[in-house]
Amino acid sequence: MRAVLVGVAVLAGYWLFSLDPLWAGVTVIIVLQPGGEQTVITGIQRAAGSVLGGVATVILIESVSLSEAALVTGLLVAAALCLMFYKANYFVYAIFVTASLIFYEVLAVDNAFEAGEERIAAILLGVGLALVGLLLQHWMKPRESQPA
């Protein structure tokens, strides 16, 4: 099930996203956990953290004319914060990993809005597919017959 969902996410990513089409598939791998409750928690944290980090980073970059040195500094600070929160709080980690990737993509393609928009859309697609996978796993799970 997981492999099929990752394949669907990657195909959709190549069809929808020009900057980094693999993020939807990566998100399915990360979010779809063996336990249903953990999948929901991880999905919510990843989606909320990515949206918050993406929106905040795009607003920062678009509202202030940042030099290349400032963008590199933003990337390094966000990456350091990723490392600090990696094991401590996944929601906060998702904020800073998204910020890091947007800073990086702006350095590469110089379009903060497109980078943020694609990153957020890919994460939401991946989380959505992981939740669909969770529902399918639950639906396909063999039911124990109950005595009459």
In a domain, 49, yes or no: yes
In a domain, 146, yes or no: no
In a domain, 145, yes or no: no
In a domain, 108, yes or no: yes
In a domain, 17, yes or no: yes
pLDDT higher at 7 or 19: 7
Listed residue (123, 131, 121, 46) closest to 91, CA to CA: 46
In a domain, 143, yes or no: no
Per residue in 96-147, pLDDT (tens digit) is 999 998 898 888 887 777 778 888 888 888 888 888 888 887 777 776 656 6
Its pTM stands at 0.79
Can you give the residue range of the structural domain that contains 64?
Answer: 2-138
In a domain, 144, yes or no: no
In a domain, 147, yes or no: no
Q: How many helices (H) and strands (E) does the chain have?
A: 6, 0
Domain count, the chain: 1
